[in-house]
Amino acid sequence: MIRKEEIRDWLIFLQQDICRELEEVDGKGKFVADPWERPGGGGGVSRVLTNGNIIEKGGVNFSAVYGQAPEAVLKSLDLPSGEKNDFFATGVSIVIHPFNPMVPIIHMNVRYFEMNNGTSWFGGGIDLTPHYVKDEDARYFHRQLKNMCDKHHASYYPEFKKWADDYFFIKHRNETRGIGGIFFDYLKAENGFSRESRFEFIKAVGSAFTPTYTHLMKKNAGHAFSEKEKQWQYLRRGRYVEFNLVWDRGTKFGLDTDGRTESILMSLPPQAQWEYNYKAEKDSAEANTLALLQKGINWAT
Amino acid sequence: MIRKEEIRDWLIFLQQDICRELEEVDGKGKFVADPWERPGGGGGVSRVLTNGNIIEKGGVNFSAVYGQAPEAVLKSLDLPSGEKNDFFATGVSIVIHPFNPMVPIIHMNVRYFEMNNGTSWFGGGIDLTPHYVKDEDARYFHRQLKNMCDKHHASYYPEFKKWADDYFFIKHRNETRGIGGIFFDYLKAENGFSRESRFEFIKAVGSAFTPTYTHLMKKNAGHAFSEKEKQWQYLRRGRYVEFNLVWDRGTKFGLDTDGRTESILMSLPPQAQWEYNYKAEKDSAEANTLALLQKGINWAT
């Protein structure tokens, strides 16, 4: 039986490992650690890198919190209100905003949750938000995820890819946030899956982040870009803000339950723009990208 | 009995009037009209001014929509789901983002709603979001609103001022959006108030907008500002985005019910910034402003 401390310690290791490798590839920026405590129990360490060579703003958060479950947590889990129910939650959450519009934004999260009634599960995901969708990079990204998933269970990639398409969707724009990836939640020891096998999968997701993203950093960070492309990046960052503040369940949940605001909103870009009724020019690179921001594209072929 | 067409026509006049006077004071920018239709019935005209002398991005929206009430509307009004209930809603909504950080952001909204079961009411408000809170301007703004309200009913200003403090509150930052103003909703013909007197009040709110805001434009648009003050403006605009996307009920309702996204999100600033864990310097103008972003300050003295 895997203890929660073992999961937590692995996540602490993961956070340090990812920060070290991102610093190495960036070549200039350094993550600054900001430890914090949660009044109700536990805390975390936010690590933020700003103004590197490649990364403009990147955050890699670790947290492990516990205590009596807030009403909102009980409600979200359909547990009886007012019941004395202790919880434990731990996770690593990452968002990287690069300078160069040719390098994509990336998000990754792995998390574990348990209640003192014995219920426990894993959740997480990785998704990519290119400012300009490039066929080659999109296929690379999804193939990496598919290969990783396939080593654990044949159902994982197709199921979690669809889940990401549905989750990372900006309903009021009728467009996906980016090219998706994988998303999953409530992975319990059930249906023939052991708790051990779920944790092995979570470790594989966490470990896939660095090689996958640093490949895209190295490949694209040297590309030239124009002022027009930079403007487009700011508009796409505006959409990223819209998704995170309007639709992202984790963000809403955190802000509703007195989570640590600065760590939750670390995902927001350094700057973003909005232009009333912006229309991309016909057949432009921007229009081509917009046409690819939709559900159901099979990139892993 | 005032007919809904009369209210709608007055709002059309108000929109045109406000746009003309804002253009005159700005001296350069012109509002561009963008008419739109609602598939379910009705439509509106969004008027947007960008890159004026004083106004960087300003939107003045008019809409009059009708048809069968969406489920979400029935739910929000505690009306039985599935009931065939036609509604009519009309309003003018304004947000102005100026270039100069010494000029405040302003928001104004007046609206009328009726159901075919005979229920109808007015709602609206004005609130000011200075990037730097100046005592003189804050007092001027609230006194203007108080004087206007007092002509209609002694209860209006104290009641609606408190409502604004509670409404324009960024819970996850524990700060108000700005210095508040007035906010009110569900003003019906009841408790001794006639429908006519409610409409007179709405007209007074709408008419108070231009003289109040153009005074602040003229007074402050010539003030010099530093790069540091401009950066602060971008951070405050970030908070404006957070309020509108996370907490504003009108925005959430519009995005949830397939409202016209571009008109709803016209309230967002041309650009905004986020800085992890920003702390204002002790005793700085920024720290002084933050200290005044709280509920319950009596500015109208």
pLDDT in tens, B229-258: 999 999 999 999 999 999 999 998 888 877
Judged on CB neighbours under 10 Å (0-12, 13-18, 19+), A137 is buried
CA dihedral A217, A220, A221, A227 (to 10 degrees): -130
Q: Other C-beta atoms within 10 Å of A127: how many?
A: 24
Taking the C-alpha atoms of residue B256 and residue B249, their distance in angstroms, rounded to an integer, is: 10
Mutate to test the interface with B, among A32, A51, A274 (most CBs of B within 10 A): A274
Backbone φ, ψ for residue A182 (5° rounding): -130, 150
Taking the C-alpha atoms of residue A156 and residue A146, their distance in angstroms, rounded to an integer, is: 8
Complex ipTM > 0.90:
yes
Backbone φ, ψ for residue A193 (5° rounding): -95, 130
Whole-prediction pTM: 0.96
Q: Which residue of A has its CA nearest to B59?
A: A276
Q: Which helix (H) or strand (E) holds B271?
A: strand B271-273
CB distance B47 to B224 below 8 Å: no
Supply the pLDDT for residue B254: 87
- The pLDDT tens digits for A128-186 are 999 999 999 999 999 999 999 999 999 999 999 999 999 999 999 999 999 999 999 99
Interface contact flag, A265 B245, Cβ < 8 Å: no
A107 is catalytic: yes
A4-291 CATH fold: oxygen-dependent coproporphyrinogen oxidase (3.40.1500)
Q: Retrieve residue B104's tokens.
A: 């405040």
Q: Retrieve residue A248's tokens.
A: 């992202």
- The pLDDT tens digits for A49-61 are 999 999 999 999 9
Q: Show the beta-strand stretches assigned E in A1-144.
A: 32-37, 42-50, 55-68, 86-98, 105-115, 120-129
Taking the C-alpha atoms of residue B139 and residue B130, their distance in angstroms, rounded to an integer, is: 12
Q: Write down the catalytic residue from A97, A107, A131, A142.
A: A107
Interface contact flag, A171 B241, Cβ < 8 Å: no
Interface contact flag, B48 A242, Cβ < 8 Å: no
pLDDT exceeds cutoff 90 at A230: yes
Percent of chain A at pLDDT > 90 equals: 87
Q: What is the overall mean pLDDT for chain A?
A: 95
Lowest-confidence region among A80-84, A233-237, B292-296 = A80-84
Band of residue B83 on the pLDDT scale cut at 50, 70, 90 = low
Taking the C-alpha atoms of residue B164 and residue B224, their distance in angstroms, rounded to an integer, is: 31
